Chain A
Amino acid sequence: MPQPYDFKPTAPWSHLELRANLLRRLRDFFHEHGVWEVETPLLSADTVIDRHIDPIRVTLATDSNGDPTAPAYWLQTSPEFGMKRLLAAYAQPMYQITRAFRADEAGAWHNPEFTIVEWYRPGHAMHDAIDFLSRLADALLHCGPARTTSYHNAFQRCLDLDPMSCSDDDLRRKAHTLKLLDAASLANAATWDRDTWLDLLLSQCVQPTLGQNGAEIIFDYPASQAALARIRPEAPPLAERFELFVQGVELANGYCELQDADELRRRNQEANALRQRDGKPPLPLESRLLQAMDHGLPACSGVALGFDRLTMLAAGAESIDQVIAFPIDRA
């Protein structure tokens, strides 16, 4: 129900000017680095299968007539599929500034509809992809070159814990010692798996310390959190995934992209099985991305950056509402 004054934007004009300036600087940066702006559909028959990201399903009125089996479309959770299909076809460096949608994500740092900056660059090396992200962050936030820290070392530094070799019980005990959960919540958490404990410790303890003196990029994630990153077959195997943090805020997520279509099929099935175990609906396994990967995806890195959060940091804003004209409850 509309409330009085609901028509007003929640962001001050100065923050909207800042958004405009940052968008311009982003486009300049990509232009100077020979990266092309592209556009792909927001509404797609395919969707990324992420254990913890819920896409919003859309049925086109002409198709539905109340028929629950009518063809479904998805609002993109990121432009990953469309851009990788372009890469498979043209192998060009490209970026996109677009909107992404994620159901049930709302809070001081989340809005279900948000602006995402995503880019792909052909090439093999993770250090090159990390370096490009570091230079982009510096160009926009003037935070200096990013410090790079492995996921392992970040946990060691902050929690004196080896996140790759410690037992699930060690993780539980650490959360308990640090009073992250009271006794009742801890009892509730009896069924949590290893990645849930790692996520809890990362988001509550490690993350607030990251990038406190500038930018910090965490790399080499546990293989179980690879998502669409390729995995280096070491012992333990590590995902060539990296994330940018500035002042404790998660700003960007990048991969040296998985190229093997069969490996993606396997991960999709696994992610769907975990979704169902978590009580979430499974997502369609077949997609045009798999076809594109069967055809051949060039070696490349891809990064997604949250533009609203970037603006929040540049503005010193404490809530995403202060940088989005009309957040979800006024949309």
Chain B
Amino acid sequence: MGTYKTSDFRKGLKVQIDGEPYSMIEMNFVKPGKGNAFYKCKLRNLLRHTTLDRTYKGGDSLESADVEEITAQYLYRQADTFVFMQNETYEQYELSAEQVGDAWKFLKEGMPCSIVLFNENPITMTPPNHVELKVEYCEPGAKGDTATNVTKPVKLETGAEVLAPAFINMGNVIKVDTRSGDYVERVSV
């Protein structure tokens, strides 16, 4: 395991504090001309998504974290385990329901997802920002009503429920933003 000296500190650096992986999301270099250098850092815990504010003095160091981001396709769910496979290596990765969080409701077989590995073990999963999913159930839309400001809940093939315009019907395929859960557009009728 390597270490990073303060002169290596920069945004995006992956480090380890108390055995947990962090990403340096902000770094401000402060130094009186003749005085000590200070590095004011904001760090995001990659496991728990909490943030830490830490100040380091020039010459301090942090342990590096073995963190890697890979793309793997979603295969299937077995009870509380979600299984993904990296296309190039056929390596399979299992994530718990807790690690997958709310993202489960957008997961469709074959979907390419981003998985963060810490010490080669998967810790978090992010689905694509936009996914196209079929509407499995909704109340029928009023004919000719193309207004987008009137919405209704629709249930998608993966189990997600989102708000979509009233003209959306069962069997339509819609594009959804997974970060916000918002309807983006109708892809096909």
Give the interface of A toward B (CB within 8 A): 50, 52-53, 103-110, 180-182, 184-185, 188-189, 192, 195-196, 199-200, 202-204, 207, 225, 227, 243, 250, 253, 278-280, 304, 306
Q: Which residues does chain A contribute within 8 Å of B58, judged by CB atoms?
A: 52, 104, 278
A278–B53 alpha-carbon span in the complex (Å) = 24
The B10-45 residues at the A interface (CB cut-off 8 A) are 17, 28-38
| B28-A182 in contact (CB<8A) | no
CB closest chain-B residue, reference A181:
B55
Determine if B59 is an interface residue (Cβ-Cβ < 8 Å). Answer: yes
- With most chain A CB atoms within 10 A of its CB, the pick from B6, B35, B55, B58 is B35
Bitwise interface map of B from 43 to 68 toward A, beta carbon under 8 Å scored 1, else 0: 00000000011111111100000000
Q: Which residues does chain B contribute within 8 Å of A104, judged by CB atoms?
A: 6-7, 37, 58
| A108-B28 in contact (CB<8A) | yes
A196–B37 alpha-carbon span in the complex (Å) = 9
A159 to chain B, nearest CB (A): 16
Q: Which residues does chain A contribute within 8 Å of B6, judged by CB atoms?
A: 104
A204–B35 alpha-carbon span in the complex (Å) = 13
Q: Which residues does chain B contribute within 8 Å of A185, judged by CB atoms?
A: 54-56
Q: Answer whether A184 and B34 are a contact pair too, CB < 8 Å, given A107-B28, A108-B29.
A: no
A280 to chain B, nearest CB (A): 7
| A195-B36 in contact (CB<8A) | yes
Give the interface of B toward A (CB within 8 A): 6-7, 17, 28-38, 52-60
| A52-B34 in contact (CB<8A) | yes
A181–B54 alpha-carbon span in the complex (Å) = 7
A48 to chain B, nearest CB (A): 10
A110–B35 alpha-carbon span in the complex (Å) = 14
A109–B58 alpha-carbon span in the complex (Å) = 16
| B60-A200 in contact (CB<8A) | no
A306–B56 alpha-carbon span in the complex (Å) = 25
| A196-B57 in contact (CB<8A) | yes
- Known A-B contacts: A107-B30, A200-B38. Give 18 more (CB < 8 A): A103-B7, A104-B6, A104-B58, A105-B37, A106-B29, A180-B55, A182-B52, A182-B54, A185-B56, A199-B32, A199-B38, A203-B30, A203-B31, A204-B38, A207-B32, A225-B35, A250-B32, A278-B59
- With most chain B CB atoms within 10 A of its CB, the pick from A103, A110, A199, A253 is A199
Q: Which residues does chain A contribute within 8 Å of B54, judged by CB atoms?
A: 182, 184-185
B64 to chain A, nearest CB (A): 17
A200–B35 alpha-carbon span in the complex (Å) = 9
A26–B182 alpha-carbon span in the complex (Å) = 57
| A182-B35 in contact (CB<8A) | no
| A195-B35 in contact (CB<8A) | yes
| A280-B57 in contact (CB<8A) | no
A71 to chain B, nearest CB (A): 26
A116 to chain B, nearest CB (A): 10
A183–B52 alpha-carbon span in the complex (Å) = 11
A196–B57 alpha-carbon span in the complex (Å) = 9
A252 to chain B, nearest CB (A): 9
Q: Which residues does chain B contribute within 8 Å of A204, judged by CB atoms?
A: 30, 38
Q: Answer whether A107 and B29 are a contact pair too, CB < 8 Å, given A180-B55, A181-B55.
A: yes
| A279-B7 in contact (CB<8A) | no
CB closest chain-B residue, reference A200:
B38
CB closest chain-A residue, reference B29:
A107
Report the 9 A-B pairs with minimum CB-CB distance, sorted nearest first: A107-B29, A199-B35, A104-B7, A199-B36, A196-B36, A253-B33, A203-B30, A185-B55, A185-B54
